[in-house]
Amino acid sequence: MARDGTVIDVPRLIAGHKFGLYQFWIIVICGIAMFSSGFNVLALGYLAPAVSADLNLPAGGLTPVFFVIGVATVLSGFIWGPIADRIGRKNTIIIAQLCAVPFVYMISRATDVTQIAIYDFFASFCFYGVVPNAMSLAGEFMPRHLKVTLTVLVWTGFSLGTIAGSPFAAFLVEEYGWRSVFVANAVIPLALALIVILFMQESLNQLLRWNASDMNARIARALRLLFPRDAIPENATFITTEQKRKGFPVHLLFTEGRAKFTLLVWVVGFANFITLSFMNSWLTTTLHNAGLVVETAILVAVAVHIGGIIGGIVASDLFDRTGRARFYVLGALYIFACLFTASIGVAGNSVLWTTVAVFVAGFFVYGLQNTYQAIISVVYPTEMRSTGTSWGIGVMQSASLFGPVLGGILLSLHWSSSDLFYVISLPPVLSAFAALLIGIGHSAPETEFEEEHVPSKP
């Protein structure tokens, strides 16, 4: 097909546009993809008291399961990202969701800790393949001045999955037992994968790199959906001014001045996730030990995710608005994460005050983690974006090898709930320190963080 002489720099066009209706639907669809991961990944944390009672396990008896889930999520982050940078983010999301289904179902058939650990290992490995790719894909369609804030909204899909899982799990456990939760959970990814297949767009930047035969038609169609008021001719020449870098994507994370930023931002995510992974695994159990009945503990635990959704939106908006001071702001917020996590330990067995403390702790601990994942999903160039996101999340997830194990050890030693929360509140202080070092040294390459000076389209 002959070209009409129009040249369109696709990433620059998207970066300079205002947020539109179709970009909203991209956030919704990517959030839907994340929903199944959130619904399934934290299921065992909600069900830990019921599973332990059914299998006659001692205090902390599910620690090996939480440990192998941590291993799976770490490996998932390191493996799925480079795969997506080769075969496409949409394809990777679909494959990961469908591969998880049989393993989730087999958890419902497990009869001992070993079987649960094996099946949940593979289920978690698959589900966490969705997370970095959905966030990276959505971030590529967002205007630059709102990238972090809007990408955080994608993560709310994961959080909504965990929130929906809490009352759903409480109902099914009471009526049918814990195994019924995993039977139901195996159905959800099938429906959500179909939505992704039918309605999600592939990364336009990846289409440009692949130079496929139908590239122009697919890009033109997507841009017309994104910007219906713009004249987008199908026979235009679509380009990207992003530099094409040679080398394995992981190596590229440490080139062109990114090494110091990459290492420090990994520390930020890793330390805070120690606290978060403890809550994912043992919050319901710890609240139950403090005096709440199991069903109430499950419902109270959901407050941490509601707080996380709100906190993520607030923190990401501050990040987008505060310019070079953004990492100082993040550092201060991590200090609050420490303080309010410790406050759960002094709430006692009061349902009201425990719910308030859990909500505020979630606002900071989960909210900042949501912001962290949005940051790393938008700051790397296209050819390393899924790798940068998935490796950042992979390093972060390696903290899940420590939080659950530490909690399991302390539970087996019969530490009080208040002492547990005092100890687990300390890691965010390290996140605060690393964030301040980034701010002091301006370690992130400026071109990755500063807004491009491109005019917004009406």
* CA 233 to mean position of chain CA atoms: 36
User: pLDDT value at position 74?
Assistant: 78
Calpha distance 420→434 (Å, rounded): 24
Calpha distance 266→260 (Å, rounded): 10
Calpha distance 223→153 (Å, rounded): 22
- In this structure, are residues 350 and 291 in contact, taking their beta carbons and an 8 Å threshold? no
Q: Please report, as a single letter, which amino acid is at residue 164.
A: A
pLDDT by residue for the chain (458 residues), tens only, comes to: 445 567 787 878 887 778 878 888 888 888 888 887 877 766 777 777 788 888 888 766 787 888 888 788 778 877 887 788 778 888 899 999 899 999 989 998 888 888 999 998 999 899 888 887 888 888 788 887 777 777 777 877 877 777 776 677 777 777 788 888 888 888 888 888 888 888 888 878 777 777 666 677 788 888 888 888 877 776 777 777 665 555 445 777 777 777 887 888 889 989 998 988 888 777 888 888 877 877 788 778 878 878 888 888 888 888 877 777 888 888 899 999 999 998 888 777 778 888 898 999 989 998 888 788 777 766 666 666 667 777 777 788 778 777 777 777 887 887 887 888 888 899 999 999 998 988 887 544 443 444 433 333 33
Which tokens hold the place of 346? 């002094």
Calpha distance 89→285 (Å, rounded): 36
Q: Please report, as a single letter, which amino acid is at residue 20.
A: G
Calpha distance 62→171 (Å, rounded): 22
Which tokens hold the place of 389? 């996101």
9 beta partners: 239
Q: Which residues of 365-395 are buried (b: 16+ CB within 10 A; e: fewer)?
A: bbbbbbbbbbbbbbbbbbbbbbbbbbbbbbb
Calpha distance 196→37 (Å, rounded): 14
186 beta partners: none
SS (H, E, C) the chain: CCCCCCEEEHHHHHHHECCCHHHHHHHHHHHHHHHHHHHHHCHHHHHHHHHHHHCCCCCCCCHHHHHHHHHHHHHHHHHHHHHHHHHCHHHHHHHHHHHHHHHHHHHCCCCCHHHHHHHHHHHHHHHCCHHHHHHHHHHHCCCHHHHHHHHHHHHHHHHHHHHHHHHHHHHHHHHHCCHHHHHHHCCHHHHHHHHHHHHCCCCHHHHHHHCCCCHHHHHHHHHHHHCCCCCCCCCCEEECCCCCCCCCHHHHCCCCCCHHHHHHHHHHHHHHHHHHHHHHHHHHHHHHHCCCCHHHHHHHHCHHHHHHHHHHHHHHHHHHHCHHHHHHHHHHHHHHHHHHHHHHCCCCCCHHHHHHHHHHHHHHHHHHHHHHHHHHCCCCCHHHHHHHHHHHHHHHHHHHHCHHHHHHHHHHCCCCHHHHHHHHCCHHHHHHHHHHHHHHHCCCCHHHHCCCCCCCEC
Calpha distance 359→357 (Å, rounded): 5
Which tokens hold the place of 215? 């590239």
User: pLDDT value at position 448?
Assistant: 46
- Cα angle 12, 17, 18; round to 5: 155
Determine how many CB atoms are found less than 10 A away from the CB of residue 308. 30
Give CA separation, 342 vs 88, 168, 348, 355, 386, in Å: 42, 28, 12, 14, 35
- In this structure, are residues 312 and 440 in contact, taking their beta carbons and an 8 Å threshold? no
Of 387, 376, 171, 396, the closest CA to residue 269 belongs to 396
Calpha distance 287→279 (Å, rounded): 10
- In this structure, are residues 319 and 372 in contact, taking their beta carbons and an 8 Å threshold? no
Domains and their CATH numbers in the chain: 7-449 (1.20.1250.20)
Q: Please report, as a single letter, which amino acid is at residue 76.
A: S
- Sequence-distant (6+) residues with CB within 8 A of 119 are 103, 104, 106, 107, 110
